[in-house]
Chains A and B, each alone.
Chain A
Amino acid sequence: MYIVIAGAGDIGFFLAQKLLADKHQVCFIEKRRDRADFIAQTTPITVLYGDGTDLNVLKDARLDKADTFVALTSADEDNIIACQLAKDVFKVKRTVAKVKNPVNIKIFSSLGVDIPIDSTSIIARIVEEEASFTDVMTLLSLRKGKLSIVRIDLPEGSPVVNRKVKDIKLPEDTVLVSILRGEAFLVPRGDTVLLFGDEVIAVANIEQEKELTRALLGKL
């Protein structure tokens, strides 16, 4: 695939290296002269020195041939406008943009950015989960958070400890996927007995996440 990235900051730089390793073609647009020079001198990636919201620059980047456009500049308004130009003028199918200020996420979606990535909220959520020593952690959210994969660490007082999976009443539309016990990975069967300290991986939809937590932890 051919991917154009506007903004060659740290995220863009690491992303480009990963994409390159996966044999994708990458082109950077960077408006800071020294940063553009640095990328050009230290990597094999094509770099255009210029503004990612300038139609001439986007044209030079052969955006019409791009499968995906990624906007990673430090200004929300520039990322939105760049994605709109990519879509409307160059017919790029998929536009991805970094959201700097989480309050702007609504603007990103309503103005047609396909995938807005709210990095601030993502990091804040992880830090919150790690810092609060919670027994429940969302590992992955799909479909904008409607479906999630969660990890639940079974505490000593959990109502499901020492019970068989088939005897546990789980909310509808939730599935236990795996049990991590020490170094072992177990696939939960009806006869599998849950133990204190097990890390249970489950899939749940957003409405049932709380119920699932209640079923496995007996609180909340």
Chain B
Amino acid sequence: MYIIIVGCSEIGSRLAKSFSSGRDNVVVIDKSRRALKNLGPGFNGRAVNADGGDLGVLKEAGIESADVLVVLTPNENLNLVIAQAAKKIYNVKKTVVQIHNPQKEEVFKKKGIIMVNRTNLFLDEFKQCILS
């Protein structure tokens, strides 16, 4: 698989490392050089220091041939816009984004965006911990 990850947070970098250690091609984009350091020496892919919200940067990273685009910046609106643009303009089949606001999930699910909702994940985890 060809995977592009926008946002090299703790989660983004770990995701990148885990996929790049297998047979997948991974490109990680982050506008912060410091964030890209999260990748460490074990990363076997390409790191791009640029703004992933810029379509030109995504194109340069090979968005047209990507199988999956993962967007994990802290700005959920930006994540949703990048993912939709990738789908509409570059026909990326699978786009996965991180969001916080559960209400937006309903709306953007209909547009074919796969969302990982941090709030709901925490909620479920807390519930389980309390009840078990």
Residues of chain A touching chain B, judged by Cβ–Cβ distance below 8 Å, are: 53-56, 75-78, 80-81, 84-85, 88-89, 103-104, 106-107, 110-111
Contacts and interface: CB of A to CB of B under 8 A. Distances in A.
Interface in B24-40: none
B54 A103 contact: yes
Contact of A80 (B54, B81, B89, B110): B81
User: Interface residues of A: mostly helix, strand, loop or mixed?
Assistant: helix
B50 to A, nearest CB: 13
B55 A107 contact: yes
B46 interface: no
B127 interface: no
Given A106-B89, A107-B85, A110-B88, A88 B107 contact: yes
A53 to B, nearest CB: 6
Interface string B36-76: 00000000000000000111100000000000000000010
A77 B88 contact: no
A137 to B, nearest CB: 31
Interface residues of B, number: 18
B77 A77 contact: yes
Given A88-B107, A106-B55, A106-B89, A111 B77 contact: no
A75 B77 CA distance: 10
Contact of A88 (B85, B88, B89, B110): B110
B75 A55 contact: no
Residue among A81, A89, A103 having the largest count of chain B Cβ atoms under 10 Å: A81
Nearest to B110: A88
Contacts of A111: 81, 84-85, 88
Contact of B80 (A75, A76, A81, A106): A81
Contacts of B77: 53, 75, 77-78, 80-81
Contacts of B101: 54-55
Nearest to B79: A77
A89 B105 CA distance: 12
B113 to A, nearest CB: 11
B93 interface: no
Interface string B97-109: 0000101100100
Nearest to A84: B107
A103 B56 contact: yes
A110 B85 contact: yes
A56 B55 CA distance: 31
5 contacts: A54-B103, A85-B104, A89-B107, A106-B55, A107-B81
Contacts of A81: 77, 80-81, 104
